[in-house]
Amino acid sequence: MSSRPTQWISLMLCLLALSFGALAYSDLPEQVATHFNLAGEPDDWSDRLTAVVMMPGAMLLTWLLLWGLPKISPTGWRVEPFMPIWNRIQVAILAFLLFVHLAVLGHALGWWGADMGRLVLVGVGLLLAFLGNYLGKTTRNFFLGIRTPWTLASDEVWRRTHRLGGWTMVIAGLALIAMGLFRASELLLGLVIAGAALIPVVYSFFAYRSLEGFNPPSDEG
């Protein structure tokens, strides 16, 4: 996906979020549930104006951030080698935020009685599975990926770690989808997320030790 279509799609997603909120505004209750616990119970509310503009605003800021970061990436750490991947990820993140926005306002409108915690969990799982599919195709940079001292110090460690990290992210995403569909305990959810995050980090240390070692430089002269 090239950059120009990416920006047009991003704009369209932001406008869709804003338009849906504007059309739904008069039918929304004065207080809208905007956060739900894992059991699907609302635990935070916002007035309807905030509920309508909050997510489109977050989407706009996310779009501008993801559009601008490649332009300020330092020499030697540019994202251009995987720019098509960056563009797909940008669209995926904005699409996920739009999904959450529609889910929250749709719930407030009474369009479905779905368990919101489970619905969002499925959405997060789909996003993680998508991102994991592309993680191994990135190169060293400061903005995207598993940025440990060891991955940033070695192209090969970065490549190996992100290949593993892509698999753990896909597996975690599929697990979250299953948990959303069939309910999950908070403990199990925490274990899945922690495992997906920690396994590649620990692996990067051992991969660096195996490939580069930690021997101090020898003094010469």
- Which tens digits make up the pLDDT trace of 46-58? 999 999 999 999 9
| Per-residue confidence band for 1, with pLDDT thresholds at 50, 70 and 90 | low
The rounded distance, in Å, linking the Cα atoms of 133 and 131 is 5
Return the structure tokens found at 191.
């274990």
Instruction: Of 53-67, 68-82, 180-194, give the lowest mean pLDDT range.
Output: 180-194
Q: Distances in Å between the alpha carbon of 178 and those of 7, 42, 148, 189?
A: 33, 22, 30, 11
71-108: per-residue pLDDT in tens?
898 888 889 899 999 999 999 999 999 999 999 999 88
The rounded distance, in Å, linking the Cα atoms of 112 and 41 is 14
- Please state, rounded to an integer, the average pLDDT across all residues of the chain: 89
125-150: per-residue pLDDT in tens?
999 999 999 999 999 999 999 999 99
Predicted pLDDT at 179: 85
* Residues 181-193, mean pLDDT to the nearest whole number: 80
* Residues 33-61, mean pLDDT to the nearest whole number: 86
Question: Of 15 and 188, which is predicted with more confidence?
Answer: 15
**SS3 readout for 36-54:** ECCCCCEEEEEEHHHHHHH
How many Cβ atoms from other residues are within 10 Å of residue 138's Cβ? 22
Instruction: Of 9-18, 92-101, 114-123, give the lowest mean pLDDT range.
Output: 114-123
Across 36-40, 62-66, 215-219, the highest mean pLDDT is recorded for: 62-66
Query: Is 50 exceeded by the pLDDT of residue 221?
Result: no
Query: Hey, which bits of 88-142 come out as E strands?
Result: none
Return the structure tokens found at 122.
């499925």
Q: Cα dihedral angle (191, 197, 202, 208), rounded to 10 degrees?
A: 160
Question: Of 31 and 189, which is predicted with more confidence?
Answer: 31
- In three-state secondary structure terms, 139 is coil
In this prediction the pTM is: 0.89
Instruction: Answer for the pair 131, 170: CB distance below 8 angstroms, yes or no.
Output: no
The rounded distance, in Å, linking the Cα atoms of 160 and 131 is 16
Query: Is 80 exceeded by the pLDDT of residue 41?
Result: no
Query: Hey, which bits of the chain come out as E strands?
Result: 31-36, 42-47
Predicted pLDDT at 189: 81
